Chain A
Amino acid sequence: MTRYFTEEHEWIEVEGDTATIGITDYAQGQLGDLVFAEVPKPGTSLAKGGDAAVVESVKAASDVYSPVTGTVTEGNPAIEEDPALINSDAEGEGWFFKLTIADPAELDGLMDEAAYKEYVAGLD
């Protein structure tokens, strides 16, 4: 399994042609207390960089983008039920959705964990 990161603060964990996607711990910290989350339904076609999910904090709505093109196989009902799960475990139980990757070459431009940590350090 390999985990990649985007500049928009999504993480994507790849296993074969299947990927699990969520937002990073840094992202949940910036958003603050989340009160609403909506994940895509199975069968939804997502484009790389396109809108995939929505979260709302106490203050504002934010879009979550798909890091790669693919077809959704599963959304995480647990975060719709309890959006605070994203705050408490963004990079684990707070995952958003799984998809089947259409083009593995799209992963090439993404950051690994070390590169993402460096990227985030440069934002503060």
Chain B
Amino acid sequence: MSGSEINVEDARPLPLDAWHRAQGGRMVPFAGYSMPIQYEGIVAEHEWTRQHAGLFDVSHMGQLLLSGPGTAAALESLLPADIAALKPGRIRYSLLLADEGGILDDLMVTNIATPEGSEESFYMVVNGATKHDDIAHIRARLPEGISFTYLTEQALLALQGPEAAAVLDVIFPGIATEVSFMQQTSRTWNGATIALGRSGYTGEDGFEISLPAAIVAEFADALLADERVKPIGLGARDSLRLEAGLPLYGHDLNPTTDPVSADLTFALSKRRREAGGFPGADRIIALLTDGPPTKRVGLALDGRLPAREGALVFAGDVEVGVLTSGGFAPTCGHPIAMAYVDAAHAANGTELSIEVRGRRLAARVAPMPFVAHNYYRAGAVK
């Protein structure tokens, strides 16, 4: 091991380890844990999630709790989001930025203060593979008086797909219409508090569900008892998020990428762009003004041969970029990819080629998401 200390807490199996094995999950090492890559098959699980409801165990991710006076301001010193304007019960996608503006992680932050606003309180979910570095980074920068907790006794599930809300509505009546995309609420189940955020990583409607590890197997069984629900592994999680145009940290994002090149400018709140004061603000604002030299784009490939991470991208004979993710897209029926390409070749429709095993595959820059998002927004015209 190098870079981070071994955490004894995390050396334990994840809370649903035995549950996955009982469901026929094929376990692989991932983020320091043993996790299911698939159950019945990646394509079948992918299609099930697009049509019904897929149950994902994402308990490897880091769940963090920050509270106390000044927490919003402290978070704004780490993230480019307008945390001060984030209302109770609202979720934001944000980026943990290094001092030079490189992306240390991408994350979800939720204001979990009560509507009366008695105390500032925020819940964050960070990536499993980066959580220990994130925790060290955040702890080292938090001012005195802010309470920081790494929730090691909490599990995290995601229920995703067009039938996810209806399934949860059976267990928690009213929840299907109570919260919209990027809003959170909570319920009591068998005496335990369960937090439900309407978000996910598939492009579908759905919820991320934080609950005590002690009851997660029982709750997963309750969800699986509904015939609309099947367990989904990491393989389909990756193909679903790729179709949804959502970047994967450690592949499409890393400490050398910045939010502008990564095409995540939506995560740079208007007030923060104008006022600055977040890590790397000078460099990031200059990139916004001048345009980035390279940009993350989607690529749609002809044929059936997938191109993978690391494959080089060409415009004519000139190398103009590199793939950071790629694979066959079951919903699209052809291979797709994400790549960083020179800004001059980043416009939608640009014809490029990708080198795979000595041959050039025709590809063109395509708008993302590749598959339309299907989020629930109360009052929105469907």
Interface set of A (CB-CB < 8 Å, partner B): 32-33, 35-36, 38, 54, 56-61, 83
B327 interface contact, C-beta 8 A:
yes
**What residue in chain B is nearest A59 (Cβ atoms)?**
B235
Contacts of B327 in A (CB 8 A): 58-59
Interface-side segment among B202-210, B212-220, B249-257, B301-309: B301-309
Please name 22 pairs of A and B residues whose Cβ atoms are closer than 8 Å in the assembled complex, sorted by A. Answer: A32-B38, A32-B41, A32-B42, A33-B41, A33-B43, A35-B304, A35-B306, A36-B304, A36-B305, A36-B306, A36-B328, A54-B357, A56-B305, A56-B328, A58-B42, A58-B46, A58-B235, A58-B327, A58-B330, A59-B238, A59-B327, A60-B308
**Which 10 interchain pairs have the tightest Cβ spacing?**
A35-B328, A33-B43, A58-B42, A36-B304, A36-B305, A33-B42, A33-B41, A58-B328, A56-B306, A32-B42
**What residue in chain B is nearest A33 (Cβ atoms)?**
B43
When the two chains form their complex, are residues A61 and B304 in contact, meaning their CB atoms are under 8 A apart?
no
Contacts of A54 in B (CB 8 A): 357
Contacts of A56 in B (CB 8 A): 305-306, 328
When the two chains form their complex, are residues B239 and A58 in contact, meaning their CB atoms are under 8 A apart?
yes
How many angstroms from the CA of A58 to the CA of B239 in the assembled complex? 8
Contacts of B238 in A (CB 8 A): 59
Q: How many residues of B contact A (CB 8 A)?
A: 19
Contacts of B308 in A (CB 8 A): 60-61
How many angstroms from the CA of A35 to the CA of B38 in the assembled complex? 16
**What residue in chain B is nearest A54 (Cβ atoms)?**
B357
Q: Give the A-B contact count at a CB cut-off of 8 A.
A: 40
Partner of A32, one of B235, B306, B357: B235
Q: Would you give the shortest CB distance from B330 to chain A, in whole angstroms?
A: 7
Q: Would you give the shortest CB distance from A38 to chain B, in whole angstroms?
A: 8
Contacts of B306 in A (CB 8 A): 35-36, 56, 61
Contacts of B330 in A (CB 8 A): 58
Instruction: List 15 other contacts, CB 8 Å, given A32-B42, A59-B42.
Output: A32-B38, A32-B41, A33-B41, A36-B304, A36-B306, A56-B306, A58-B42, A58-B43, A58-B239, A58-B328, A59-B235, A59-B327, A60-B308, A61-B357, A83-B304
Contacts of B304 in A (CB 8 A): 35-36, 83
Q: Would you give the shortest CB distance from A34 to chain B, in whole angstroms?
A: 9
How many angstroms from the CA of A58 to the CA of B325 in the assembled complex? 12
Contacts of A83 in B (CB 8 A): 304
Contacts of A60 in B (CB 8 A): 308
**What residue in chain B is nearest A35 (Cβ atoms)?**
B328
Contacts of A38 in B (CB 8 A): 305
Q: Would you give the shortest CB distance from A59 to chain B, in whole angstroms?
A: 6
Q: Would you give the shortest CB distance from A79 to chain B, in whole angstroms?
A: 12
Contacts of A35 in B (CB 8 A): 304, 306, 328, 335
How many angstroms from the CA of A57 to the CA of B308 in the assembled complex? 11
Q: Would you give the shortest CB distance from B188 to chain A, in whole angstroms?
A: 39
How many angstroms from the CA of A36 to the CA of B306 in the assembled complex? 8
Interface centre among A35, A36, A57, A61 (most CB of B within 10 A): A35
Q: Would you give the shortest CB distance from A10 to chain B, in whole angstroms?
A: 20
How many angstroms from the CA of A83 to the CA of B46 in the assembled complex? 18
Contacts of B37 in A (CB 8 A): 59
How many angstroms from the CA of A33 to the CA of B357 in the assembled complex? 21
How many angstroms from the CA of A35 to the CA of B235 in the assembled complex? 14
**What residue in chain A is nearest B37 (Cβ atoms)?**
A59
How many angstroms from the CA of A60 to the CA of B309 in the assembled complex? 10
Q: Would you give the shortest CB distance from A88 to chain B, in whole angstroms?
A: 12
**What residue in chain A is nearest B304 (Cβ atoms)?**
A36
**What residue in chain A is nearest B305 (Cβ atoms)?**
A36
Residues in B323-378 with C-beta less than 8 Å from chain A: 327-328, 330, 335, 357
How many angstroms from the CA of A38 to the CA of B42 in the assembled complex? 21
Q: Would you give the shortest CB distance from B370 to chain A, in whole angstroms?
A: 15
How many angstroms from the CA of A56 to the CA of B301 in the assembled complex? 15
How many angstroms from the CA of A65 to the CA of B235 in the assembled complex? 26
Q: Would you give the shortest CB distance from A47 to chain B, in whole angstroms?
A: 18
Interface centre among B238, B306, B308 (most CB of A within 10 A): B306
Contacts of B328 in A (CB 8 A): 35-36, 56, 58
Contacts of B43 in A (CB 8 A): 33, 58
Q: Would you give the shortest CB distance from B371 to chain A, in whole angstroms?
A: 15
Q: Would you give the shortest CB distance from B123 to chain A, in whole angstroms?
A: 32
Contacts of B44 in A (CB 8 A): 33
**What residue in chain B is nearest A87 (Cβ atoms)?**
B41
Q: Would you give the shortest CB distance from A83 to chain B, in whole angstroms?
A: 7
Q: Would you give the shortest CB distance from B35 to chain A, in whole angstroms?
A: 14
How many angstroms from the CA of A59 to the CA of B328 in the assembled complex? 8
Q: Would you give the shortest CB distance from B134 to chain A, in whole angstroms?
A: 27
